[in-house]
Structure 1
Amino acid sequence: MPSISIKGRTMPQSPIRKLVPYAENAKKNGAKVIHLNIGQPDIKTPQIALDAVKNNQLAVLEYSRTEGSEGYREKIAEYYKRNNIHVQADDIIVTTGGSEALSFALGTIADTDDEIIIPEPFYANYNGFATASGIKVVPVVSKIENNFALPPIEDFEKLITPKTKAILICNPGNPTGYLYSKEEIQKLAKIVLKYDLFLIADEVYREFVYDNREHYSILQEEVLSNNGIIVDSVSKRYSMCGARIGFLVSKNKEVISTAIKFAQARLSPPTYAQIASEAALETPQSYFEEVKTEYVARRNLLISELEKLEGVKVAKPQGAFYCIAELPITDADDFAQWLLEDFRVNNETVMVAPAAGFYATEGLGKNQIRIAYVLDQPTLKRAVHILGEALKTYIG
């Protein structure tokens, strides 16, 4: 029998999706599963985006330009300028989701066996993209005790080698909800300039920042013109996860011209999705204010309810719509599977994402879970109640 590649065998499973078969089986057996495991918002997509596709009169669904339509990229540049990020249309490549943007970025800046430093826990698919690109993830640990703040710069410096090509952050963070401050971004800017590295920032949750804080982009730092790369997406901003439209943004012309070669290999981003995403740029600011107000209320309720559970420790998110909770157990993978297979309250159970898959360091996060607060408040409250009852039974 032909053999599978080493790369394929070492490709990590998604901690977010690997429990899906157990959830589907629970549903087949009549149980209701409350999904706390995935960042699929229940917020309605702006009607203006849906209507742009519904009412379009295209006679031929053609390829678009490899880097995305010029008109759309010009409007994206205007969006960034409204957010104090001054880039031009030629600094932007439209991609098939933020995932492809990150894949292009890694392919552009790093070769096989090169290294990327990432504060952990981090979005689990970073591990997957790195494996696919033959790149080594070098983790620097952030801790729940200080809300997953940026680790000391000295911790980064200890890890830099001749193979190091970049530092990658997510801001606000998935899975932690941590928001890096302007001062923390400036610390990172200094270190990447000192060692001539790239700083890649996944900024897909830019709009979702709470408690009167402001998002500070890496490209607001002029000194990062040649070192900064933004990965972005419409998925969460407009609750358009199925559109699969993202952006790679950099003022470094060589980065963009190289990334376009990767983009040419996949021809073009999807045409209808660009039409919807371009229309979404006309979404009024009131939409985001309403969404933020709702997420703040959900976050506050979730944290309040989790803090009532004996032995549970939780970090308070400042952005995005995730939090990490540390449970009084030893194996969150086993607990999450048990929830789906064996535990019910009024024939309901919950699905969570075990957090070990958001770490690169073996053994970390084993007693943690990621919760996505993308459901309405009554459902969230009921889910935490079920989680609390489950812990009593599981431990007891």
Structure 2
Amino acid sequence: MKTTAHNFFITITIVLLTACQQKQTDFTTNRKDYDKYLASEPVKTTSKYFQLWDNKIKSDSMQLLSLGNVAGEYARFFKGTGKIKYLKDAEQALNKAVEIAAVGKSGYLRALARNYISQHRFKEALILAKEARSLGSGVKDSQSLLYDLHMELGNYRIANAYLDSIKNMSDFGYLIRVAKWNDHKGDLGTAIHFMEKAMAKAESSQNRDLLVWSYTNLADFYGHAGRIEDSYYLYLKTLQIDSQNAYAKKGIAWIVYSHERNGAEALRILDSIMQKNKSPEYYLLKAEIADFMKNDLLRVQSLDNYYKIIEDNKDYGDMYNAYNVDFLLGLEVDQKAFELAQEEVKNRPTPESYGLLAYSLLQVGQEQKAMEIIEKHVMGATFEPAILHQAAEVYKANGKKEKVSALKQELLEAAFELGPIKEAEIASL
């Protein structure tokens, strides 16, 4: 009788799990939802206000307010086009503002630090953030910035102390940071809880920028949690506010590719983004989708385009180091990838950087050393599926079957986040 009851409950559990999975699998996107946002319209990289501010800078380099406004416009142009030139132009304007500011200097220092974060110049940004904090103006903003930077640099104990220093459950800035903190710890449920609170704050304020930020970040979290439909509708809500938002379109393209396995439609969406936004990483995604579709010509062309953009423009600096390690490993240029991974660890000693270093060590035949790095710097320090996949490969090479098995189960649950190509690799672990 006991055995029969036990089997009954197992059967019920399997049925419930299957029903949940079936409900998720049944969801499909509808191109009518997003087609209107794919129309090709050039990104505006000027305005009458920009021209006014820019002319003031050219006629009088001491126009501090105009320098700040122009820098903000350049940053917006960069976000819309992906062209590194605009980010460097913003840097130039902010450097001048920092140089001449007598009042409000801490604000310009923080703005320049955030520009450096976009360029992955984290250690330089940290120096600026500390200087801004020492000036004593905008203390909470400086502490928030210091939290962000220490998270980027893998200084999690220090970051947590700064997070405590800005604690305010009614503040949007605190809510999004405590959400990110919980995501870092692997507590996705709590991360979603706080991001939903941040979204509610944004909706009550009707601040366009905060709405876009909260919708896209919560959409990402929902995707990681397997809530694909919820993720999709938040990306659509983002596009209702900002019809040109490349990030939201990329999110929809990923759902179409990873969830629906529709490579052709995902490429159509991606191509519409790339007509306006020239960020190099789009070519890498295009190459991955082409690989999934067994279109080797498109895959090679996309990788070649990525390489040309990065090689031809040194202004990118360290921004694409992590991408480049994967890129080089994919081409079996293992020694160069290993050297670049070492450089990335020096610039940004995070578990993710160490994971790349370990994986590149594996490719050059140093399995034992790779495992030492994984166990010292990665396991328990990050829950990013892509990095845990690399850890599983390292463990496999070292014959650690139990550890591979445990990671494999976890990774299969993150199949949507990793995509079909990685899912196939995980299945063969």
More strand by share: 1
Q: Which category describes the TM-score, using the shorter chain as reference length?
A: under 0.3
Name the TM-score, length of structure 1 as normaliser: 0.27
More helix by share: 2
Name the TM-score, length of structure 2 as normaliser: 0.25
- Higher relative contact order, structure no. (Cα contacts within 8 Å, ≥ 6 residues apart): 1
